[in-house]
Amino acid sequence: MSSLAANSIILYLLVAVALVMLGLYGLLVLKDPIRRLIAINIMGSGTFLTMIAFARRQDPPDPILHALVVTGLVVAISATAFALRLILAARESREAAASGSTEAEDE
């Protein structure tokens, strides 16, 4: 495996910082729960990218960081699934509370 130039690694680290900032910005500014969830996931990708870019400093990349990120990916999707279910449940309980006044609210 050819080793990656130091400049590329710095580039990826900067992009990782940019992704975290972008996700944080979206999280603070957006109102739609699904978009907020996407923002959190983008922040997560930024974190993973930092770890993998650091792992690439050695020539065979550091397997410990790779293993941590594989674990992180699975945890991220289970958290996303749980958060989506929470969003739906919150939405439904709000609907149930307001069902007396407005019945047909779906799209």
Partner 1 sequence: MTVELLPDLVLCVLLLVVAWSALFASTRRDAMALFVAFGMIVALVWARLGAPDLALAEAAIGAGLTGVLLLRAARKLPVSSARRFDYRRHLGALTFIVVAVSGFAVSIILPSPADITANNIDSPVAAAMSDSGVSHQVTAVLLNFRAWDTFLELLVLLFAITGLRQLFPIEKESLEPARTWQLLVSWTRTLVPLLLLVGGYLLWRGSSGPGGAFQAGALLAAGCVMLRITGMLPPLHWSSFAVRGSVCAGTLLFLCTAVLTHSLGAGWLDYPEAHAGTLILMIETLATLSIAIILTLLVAGERKDLCS
Report if residue 18 touches partner 1, rule: CB under 8 A: yes
Report if residue 23 touches partner 1, rule: CB under 8 A: yes
- Output the smallest distance, CB 2 to partner 1, in A: 9
Instruction: Report which of 39, 45, 36 is spatially closest to residue 69, judged by C-alpha positions.
Output: 45
Query: By CB under 8 A, what part of segment 79-98 binds partner 1?
Result: 79-82, 84-89, 91-93, 96
Q: Show Cβ contacts of residue 39 under 8 Å, excluding neighbours closer than 6 positions.
A: 22, 23, 24, 25, 26, 27, 30
3-state SS assignment for residue 59: coil
- Output the smallest distance, CB 68 to partner 1, in A: 7
Query: By CB under 8 A, what part of segment 33-62 binds partner 1?
Result: 33-35, 37-39, 41-42, 45, 48-49, 52-53, 55-62
Instruction: Give the Cα separation of 103 and 106 in Å (integer).
Output: 9
